[in-house]
Structure 1
Amino acid sequence: MQGKNTIVITGDYSIGLLSQTSGNLNTDTIIRVNSDGSVTPSFSDGDDTFIVTAGNHAVGVLACASPGSARACVSSLDEESTTDTGSNENNAIAKLDMAKGEITTHGTESYAAYANGTVVKAGDTLDYTNASVTLTDVDITTHGDNAHAIAARQGTVSFNQGEIYTTGPDAATAKIYNGGTVTLKNTSAVAHQGSGIVLESSINGQEATVDILSGSSLGSANEILYHKNETSNVTITDSEVSSAADVFINNIKGHLTVDATNSKITGSANISTDVNTHTYLSLSDNSTWDIKADSTVSNLTVDNSTVYISRADGRDVEPTRLTITENYVGNNGVLHLRTELGDDNSATDKVVINGNTSGTTRVKVTNAGGSGAYTLNGIEIISVEGESNGEFIKDSRIFAGAYEYSLTRGNTEATNKNWYLTNFQATSGGETNSGGSSAPTVAPTPVLRLEAGSYVANLAAANTLFVMRLNDRAGEMRYIDPVTEQERSSRLWLRQIGGHNAWRDSNGQLRTTSHRYVSQLGAELLTGGFTDSDSWRLGVMAGYARDYNSTHSSVSDYRSKGSVRGYCAGLYATWFADDISKKAHTLTPGRNIAGLKTR
């Protein structure tokens, strides 16, 4: 079939393109146009083809490994399709390729692409015949209940460089039943009222494989992965998956392994309480997982990737819990939590690990509106029941109010497997005298936030830079006028001051040094007196000043810098009640304009 072709099918159980094995033959492809099962042969592959189905249980393109009736090929996924030994003697392969085109289905359980293989019974042994569908540069749209875009039963469907959109209730992007493989590459897919990928099986030992590759994006109304299969393996590479319901994994039954590489995942992970149900999740190569809600996985590996545990985006915190029922492995991974930084009872996201930990993980903590408070034992953010060999390291500063928080292990035998946010200095226990009594326990010293030093220095500078005395501007320089040879005095004055200061807080944690420079210039414009003994003066002045400071914490070894710059301009007036003794009253309604900057 060549050129542009259009196939319109209106009957139930109809097929647009069919590749079906028959005895020893491979890839005998036909067009099915009637609801009664009649066929018209002529196709091998479809190219630049447009297929529209309007009936229920219809299929756009179908590869069928069953040598039985065509009606059996169109059976829905959850109908068993099993034949006796010898029904397909050479294990023939049904293969269908379609490049460039569109497939649209209207109807219940009408699939766009279906690879229907067959289970062959030989006593208690199960073998498979193969069916494969390959779609390249094809767009798929389905309308109808359970009208999955891609369906596979012991078959393989490869979808490359196209778009998928399902609109009906429970219509998934892809469904694999009783084993099979689905590959999405360079694909944009949205399940408007269904799940992303559904993996189900009614036969033990069936393994399903899903590969989401090369810049694909997968969105769904429900969960991204619905799992009820014996064993499934999902690979997500260089792609993005997200759910409107904020659910990534819903594992009802079986073993599910998900490996994400350089990918972005959004949504929670849920797992049933069945002891034989396990979810193994591995993130690598800058992958991110934004869990959005309480989540549970069996094993989690975070390799150069990030897990965002919080469900909130604003200043408030809605505590979110990530539970790992077995083991956690970190390899330069990052856990990002939100905590309302305060005392021991602060609301916080939390990681609960029932098994063992290993490797190194960095922890980022965002303050969710906490104003800081002294902690006694600390805020527990990571709990470990098994061997706590993993190291969790603070990724960046954690602070609130006047306190600096650290990430440390618990300091008692009962808590040393867990990790806490604390803001006190570790101290040794009370000393015991020869009589056996213990000295009173001294409360640990809180760790102060180093910005406190810069804040105090800035505040002091802002309030004192332009403070001046009368004598700072009342000095008169007298000189002899060379023309009149009379003694005169200058009314212009200049004040310049430089200074240095250093101090420590009472706990000896913060050492602050500051340097300042002030320059002020003024002139007296008018002078006079009300009596023979008094005098008054009216002048103008302007100035510039700068103070810069640095604070170092001996506990955290962090350093902060602060600076203040100020400008002033205004008028001043002075009245000497006794001009000889210089007893004065001064009015300086100057206007100060200052900028405050803290780093």
Structure 2
Amino acid sequence: MRSHQIQYSALALALTAALAVGIPVRAHAQQVIADGDAQTPAAGDYSATGVGNHAFHALNGGSIVPMGAVNVSADGSGASAARAEGAGSRIELNGSTLVTTGFGATTALATTGGELHLTATDVINKGTGMGVVAHTGSQATLQDVNIRMEGVSSVGLAGGGDITMTGGSISAMGLGSRAVSATGANMTLTGVAIEGESGIWLADNNRLNLSGSTVRASGIALDINGRSNAVTVADSNFHSTGNGTATVKMFSESTLAMARSSVISEGDRAVGIDARTGTADLDRVNVTTSGESSHGLYADFTGIGAGPIITARAAQVHTTGAGAIGAVARQGGSIHLDDSIIRTEGQQAHGVLTGGRGGMTLAGSHIRTEGEGAWAAVINDNGSLGIDGSALESVQHGGVWVRSNRDSRLTLSNNAYVSGGNGIAIALDAAVAGRFDVVLQGHSQMVGDIVITPEDEDAGLVPQSDVHVRLADGSLWQGTSNLVQTMAIESGSQWTLTGDATVGELSVLNSGVALSDGSGRFNTLTVDGDLHSEGATFLFQGALGGDDSAFDRLHVRGDTSGDASIAVKNIGGVGAQTTDGIQLIEVDGASLATYALAGRAVGGSYEYFLFKGGVTDPTDGNWYLRSQWFDGCKDNPAAPGCVVDPVDPIDPVDPVDPVDPVDPVDPVDPVDPVDPVPVLRPEAGAYLANQSAAINMFSHRLNDRIGAVSLDEGRAAWARVGRQQADFSAVGGQLSIDGNTSVLQIGTDLVRRGNAAFGVMLGTGRADSSAVSDLTGYSAKGRVRGSAVGVYGTWMQVADGTQGAYMDANLQYGRFDNRVQGIGLEPEHYDSRMASASLEAGYTFNVWQGAASALYVQPQLQLSHVDFRTDRHVERNGTVIDHADAGGLSGRLGVRVFGHGTAASNIVQPYLGVNWLRGSGTSTLQFDGDRLGADVPRNRYEVQAGAELKLGQRWGAWGGVSVQHGDHGYRNVGGQLGLRMAW
């Protein structure tokens, strides 16, 4: 209800009226009256007593300007301490005090064109009356003035004239008092501290400019009560502490422009900003309420004229009480939030609510509710809500509660976001009837389900709504529903299911559907009607294994048409051989769509492929994943479950005369059905290639380290570079592996005693490999980066190595950084380590001696042991790679034939060698428990050739090539160069 001006007694009003029109009164001592003249009283105390007697009274154009500070008082009813009356009348005070004590007294009054100019002055009214008043046509200019009202039903600053107040304060805390009251005034308040039981009350036709001020009240802090008011507020604070009130209220058709200000409400059922009509424009305004049912913004049309409109830009609304809604637009009221924030904390304190022809639009705003039972948005009967680039988030409850069908759609535009903490994005009352569209466009997102309200569902009410969903322009919905009649997903949008869902018709155009969210729960999407897709992608997730694998599934009861890519993500599946396959898509109607596997489907060591039709019924129109490359029926049409096409009948021939019967032969036993070949991943080959490269990277022989065997040159330092290229197969020949390894080793003798030497060595190397599936053509890359440190010791029976026995031993420890990346998969990184020991022995025979050269034969035996270990590794797709421990004992038996010049100058010494290499260790690993191995033969045969160049007494260089061959197409070609310096 509209409030009214404060009422006084009949006597007080009669006295005030009589004085205002100039009824002659008796003057007392200490009065100063300027009747058309100028009075300049000295500093001091002045007073007036009696009804209607004014201490300072300027009238008929007179002026009173004291020479200094004065203390002016009047104690009569209807009296004034200072009164400027009539056009041109003026009172100026500086550093003074004005006091009245009588009932109905106005401490300082400007009337009928008078002017008050008060500076650094205290205005005190101890009775029931007014502090400073400027009537219509009059003027009051106040600078650093403090107005204090001590009585009840009083007003601090009032009038209908021009009032300017800068600095100072107004206090009117008495029962029924107001700090400021105006009718038809032009009022400017700057930097004023205002407090009262009621703050600022405006009747009709006021112009108020308030800046840098504070208004505190137990009731309404800013009450724009009448019509045609224009209020501008900047950098100010409003604070109300009472119950059942509002901090800022607009009752009639007026305008409010508020910027950079705060509004605080502490009471219960106390609104922050309450607009019943008119328009409120809020710019960077903070609204805070703490009481129960104390809403932040409230636009409710209960006045006269047009409905209220609240527009807020960069505003912040925060409520903490139960049932305290952030913003309410109802009964024809409208609220527009732009780049604003609403946060509620209380139970059932919804973010925004609209109803009863109310409208709410959100642009670039963020709505967040944290209390139990608090929806981010509520659309009551006949309410409307527009969401443009805004986020609506409920921490504990649902996103949007729809109770109205006034607008037949809810649209999220321009990166809008809706999320329900309880898993509900949109809930409709079961009674909401007719078509209801949910549209997400412009990269908008919605997280949560579309359902009827849990209360209606528990009551068994049947939904009356006809829900249609459209996702467009890169939008995303993560949730589920059984209410959707038609769903269209377009222009790069995606639907991610969080549970089983049913839709009537589904259209997917250049967009995607993820049938589960990766949480480990696998869902079924049922399309009761038809499914049409063009350029679409369907993501199925599950545990890849056999036919009974837990997996997402799509069931189309109607027809399928168009095309789509099928992406598969393995969640914890270890892979297995399939029979009929893992059914992904079941089609009851005409299966006319074309689907193709996007990327790869891998589980453990198995590779899966997409097939239309089962093995038992190839014409069923369903789509399956099978871990096989070929169709078993094509290779063996007689296998169980295979259908043999009928052949054309043969024309009958003339009967043949019977012949003697042939003795029956024994029946032929049936053959076992042909099992389809399992298709294994090429990544297994890359892991095995890395393993093999690391094991062999730093292995070497004595001749690799120092060239021709000789210790007669003293201590030596050496360096060698080598490169090998190996080709072999893995996992039963299904994978072809090509790899190359490069190594650099350096070392030096530390100690030499007689014919024995001891030294240290360092090495670094790299290996790159490629594994290709001969079935699928898929490939994987392997990479190893390693370093090693080691020691060695050598003994020779004869120091120059031309005869007798020798022994060589070395110990090494290496660490490796490994990488594997399969085509279409994320790269995998893991570490490994190696420890090796080698013992080599041989004997040199001089088989021919010439004048300048000699020929030697050197049988050799070498035993090596490698302990290679890799930590358990889990791929990003969940595949576990472990037990990749390899190495073991290996041996080499061979003979080396070399020439040795006897001249003292630079010479070239060629050599030729053959070796038999025998490996007894392992080269395997496990993919999710399936053991896989490289087809590296245990027996390999090697031929070597090369030469050493002896450069004087201290320098030597050597080089050579080697070729290894073995079973399963194994081949290894290597080469090296070395340099030695002796001292």
Same fold (TM over 0.5): yes
Could you say which residue in structure 2 is the equivalent of 1:120? none
Could you say which residue in structure 2 is the equivalent of 1:589? 811
Q: Which amino acid aligns with 1:584?
A: Y
**1:188-239, Cα deviation, whole Å (9 max, x unpaired):** 43446653323346xxx97622222233333334422112322111222336
Could you say which residue in structure 2 is the equivalent of 1:233? 437
Q: Which amino acid aligns with 1:45?
A: T
Could you say which residue in structure 2 is the equivalent of 1:598? 820
- Asked whether 1:303 is paired with 2:522, we answer no
**1:402-421, Cα deviation, whole Å (9 max, x unpaired):** 22222332334367433322
* Deviation, structure 1 residue 401: 2.6
**1:29-66, Cα deviation, whole Å (9 max, x unpaired):** 9xxxxx9xxxxx994434349898987999932358xx
Change (3 A) 1:282 1:467: same
**How many angstroms apart in 1 are the aligned matches of 2:438 and 2:736?**
55
CA contact under 8 A between 2:349 and 2:369: conserved in structure 1? no
**How many angstroms apart in 2 are the aligned matches of 1:571 and 1:144?**
74
Could you say which residue in structure 1 is the equivalent of 2:298? 60
Q: Which amino acid aligns with 1:512?
A: I
Could you say which residue in structure 1 is the equivalent of 2:231? 3
Could you say which residue in structure 2 is the equivalent of 1:562? 782
**How many angstroms apart in 2 are the aligned matches of 1:572 and 1:51?**
80
**How many angstroms apart in 1 are the aligned matches of 2:360 and 2:684?**
63
CA contact under 8 A between 1:269 and 1:297: conserved in structure 2? no
* Deviation, structure 1 residue 256: 0.6
Could you say which residue in structure 2 is the equivalent of 1:385? 588
- Asked whether 1:330 is paired with 2:330, we answer no
**How many angstroms apart in 1 are the aligned matches of 2:790 and 2:694?**
17
Could you say which residue in structure 2 is the equivalent of 1:363? 566
CA contact under 8 A between 1:523 and 1:541: conserved in structure 2? yes
* Deviation, structure 1 residue 430: 1.6
Could you say which residue in structure 2 is the equivalent of 1:453? 685
CA contact under 8 A between 1:450 and 1:552: conserved in structure 2? yes
Change (3 A) 1:54 1:439: closer
**How many angstroms apart in 2 are the aligned matches of 1:242 and 1:268?**
8
* Deviation, structure 1 residue 573: 2.0
- Asked whether 1:247 is paired with 2:415, we answer no
Q: Which amino acid aligns with 2:438?
A: V
* Deviation, structure 1 residue 259: 1.8
* Deviation, structure 1 residue 255: 0.9
Could you say which residue in structure 2 is the equivalent of 1:219? 419
Instruction: State the Cα RMSD in Å.
Output: 4.8
CA contact under 8 A between 1:7 and 1:51: conserved in structure 2? no
SS at match of 2:480: strand
CA contact under 8 A between 1:572 and 1:586: conserved in structure 2? yes
**How many angstroms apart in 2 are the aligned matches of 1:18 and 1:236?**
38
* Deviation, structure 1 residue 523: 5.4
SS at match of 1:461: helix
**How many angstroms apart in 1 are the aligned matches of 2:480 and 2:444?**
16
**Relative contact order, CA 8 A, sep 6+: which one is greater?**
1
Residue of structure 2 aligned with 1:45, choices 279, 284, 288:
279
Change (3 A) 1:567 1:278: closer
CA contact under 8 A between 2:724 and 2:740: conserved in structure 1? yes
CA contact under 8 A between 2:276 and 2:308: conserved in structure 1? no
**How many angstroms apart in 1 are the aligned matches of 2:359 and 2:700?**
87
SS at match of 2:481: strand
Change (3 A) 1:18 1:58: farther
Change (3 A) 1:144 1:491: closer
CA contact under 8 A between 2:277 and 2:301: conserved in structure 1? no
**1:361-390, Cα deviation, whole Å (9 max, x unpaired):** 333333222333222222223333233333
Report the structure number with the largest CA radius of gyration. 2
CA contact under 8 A between 2:783 and 2:820: conserved in structure 1? yes
Which stretch of structure 1 is more off in the superposition, 430-439 or 363-372?
A: 430-439
Which stretch of structure 1 is more off in the superposition, 515-524 or 376-385?
A: 515-524
**How many angstroms apart in 1 are the aligned matches of 2:713 and 2:437?**
99
* Deviation, structure 1 residue 400: 2.9
**How many angstroms apart in 1 are the aligned matches of 2:384 and 2:692?**
71
SS at match of 1:462: helix
**How many angstroms apart in 2 are the aligned matches of 1:443 and 1:345?**
18
SS at match of 1:270: coil
Change (3 A) 1:190 1:467: closer
Residue of structure 2 aligned with 1:260, choices 463, 471, 476:
471
* Deviation, structure 1 residue 572: 1.9
CA contact under 8 A between 2:330 and 2:354: conserved in structure 1? yes
**How many angstroms apart in 2 are the aligned matches of 1:336 and 1:523?**
59
| Unaligned runs of at least 5 residues, structure 2 | 1-228, 256-268, 270-274, 454-462, 639-643, 648-666, 822-983
Q: Which amino acid aligns with 1:564?
A: V
**How many angstroms apart in 1 are the aligned matches of 2:750 and 2:349?**
92
**How many angstroms apart in 2 are the aligned matches of 1:59 and 1:471?**
90
Equivalenced residues, count: 516
CA contact under 8 A between 2:293 and 2:324: conserved in structure 1? no
Change (3 A) 1:168 1:495: closer
Change (3 A) 1:150 1:520: closer
| Unaligned runs of at least 5 residues, structure 1 | 20-26, 30-34, 36-40, 65-69, 74-92, 117-130, 272-276, 480-486, 530-534
**How many angstroms apart in 1 are the aligned matches of 2:748 and 2:383?**
93
SS at match of 2:684: helix
How do 1:115-194 and structure 2 match up within 5 A?
115-116=330-331, 133-137=334-338, 149-153=352-356, 156-164=359-367, 170-176=373-379, 181-191=384-394, 194=397
Could you say which residue in structure 2 is the equivalent of 1:97? 309
* Deviation, structure 1 residue 474: 6.3
* Deviation, structure 1 residue 424: 0.8
- Asked whether 1:287 is paired with 2:493, we answer yes
* Deviation, structure 1 residue 549: 2.1
Residue of structure 2 aligned with 1:572, choices 777, 781, 792:
792
CA contact under 8 A between 1:249 and 1:268: conserved in structure 2? no
Change (3 A) 1:195 1:570: closer
SS at match of 1:224: strand
* Deviation, structure 1 residue 115: 4.8
Change (3 A) 1:256 1:59: same
Change (3 A) 1:7 1:290: farther
Could you say which residue in structure 1 is the equivalent of 2:480? 269
- Asked whether 1:421 is paired with 2:641, we answer no
Could you say which residue in structure 2 is the equivalent of 1:466? 698
- Asked whether 1:405 is paired with 2:625, we answer no
CA contact under 8 A between 2:513 and 2:539: conserved in structure 1? yes
SS at match of 1:512: strand
Q: Which amino acid aligns with 1:417?
A: G
Q: Which amino acid aligns with 1:98?
A: I
Report the TM-score, using the length of structure 2 for normalisation. Answer: 0.45
**How many angstroms apart in 1 are the aligned matches of 2:377 and 2:785?**
64
**How many angstroms apart in 2 are the aligned matches of 1:235 and 1:518?**
62
**How many angstroms apart in 1 are the aligned matches of 2:323 and 2:276?**
28
**1:395-446, Cα deviation, whole Å (9 max, x unpaired):** 3222233222223323343674333222211231524599999864311111
**How many angstroms apart in 2 are the aligned matches of 1:551 and 1:398?**
17
Which stretch of structure 1 is more off in the superposition, 349-358 or 441-450?
A: 349-358
Percentage of identical aligned residues = 23
CA contact under 8 A between 1:115 and 1:157: conserved in structure 2? no
**How many angstroms apart in 2 are the aligned matches of 1:539 and 1:57?**
85
**How many angstroms apart in 2 are the aligned matches of 1:148 and 1:220?**
12
Q: Which amino acid aligns with 1:247?
A: D
